Amino acid sequence: MNKNVASDFNTAIPLDGVDALLSPASVHPKSLLDLPSGDARESLLAAHGILRAVLPPGKLAIYEAGGGSTSFLPLSVLDRAHVTVVDIDEDQIRNNTYADKTILGDIQSYRFKPATFNLVICYNVIEHLADVEAALLRFCEALKQGGLILIGAPNPKSLSGVVTKYSPHWFHVWFYRHVRGDRHAGEPGQAPFPTFFHPLVSLSRLETFAREHGLQVIYRREYESPRFPEMRARKPVLAALLDAIAVVANLFLPGKADVRRGDYHVILRKR
Ligand SMILES: C[S@@+](CC[C@H](N)C(=O)[O-])C[C@H]1O[C@@H](n2cnc3c(N)ncnc32)[C@H](O)[C@@H]1O
Q: Which of 271, 153, 166 is nearest to 220 (CA)?
A: 153
Q: How confident is the model at residue 160 (pLDDT cuts 50, 70, 90)?
A: very high
Q: What is the pLDDT of residues 65-103, one digit of tens each?
A: 998 788 999 999 999 999 999 999 999 999 899 999 999
Ligand 1 pocket, residue 126 CB under 6 Å: no
pTM of the model: 0.89
Least confident of 21-25, 53-57, 58-62, 146-150: 21-25
| Mutate-to-test residue for ligand 1 from 88, 172, 182, highest number of ligand atoms within 8 A of CB | 88
Ligand 1 mean position, distance from CA 66 (Å):
4
Report, as an integer, the average pLDDT of 45-63: 96
What residue spans define the domains of the chain? 37-270
Q: Which of 22, 1, 25, 21 is nearest to 11 (CA)?
A: 25
What is the structure's pLDDT at 106? 98
Ligand 1 pocket, residue 86 CB under 6 Å: yes
What is the structure's pLDDT at 204? 96
| Cα 217 from Cα 164, distance rounded (Å) | 26
| Cα 64 from Cα 92, distance rounded (Å) | 12
Ligand 1 mean position, distance from CA 96 (Å):
11
One of 3.40.50.720, 3.40.50.150, 3.40.50.10490, 3.40.50.300 is the CATH number of 37-270, namely: 3.40.50.150
Ligand 1 pocket, residue 44 CB under 6 Å: no
Q: What is the pLDDT of residues 112-159, one digit of tens each?
A: 999 999 999 999 999 999 999 999 999 999 999 999 999 999 999 999
The b-or-e profile of 75-93 (16+ CB within 10 A means b, else e) is bbbbeebebbbbbbbeebb
Which of 4-13, 23-32, 92-101 is most confident? 92-101
| Cα 231 from Cα 214, distance rounded (Å) | 40
Ligand 1 mean position, distance from CA 87 (Å):
6
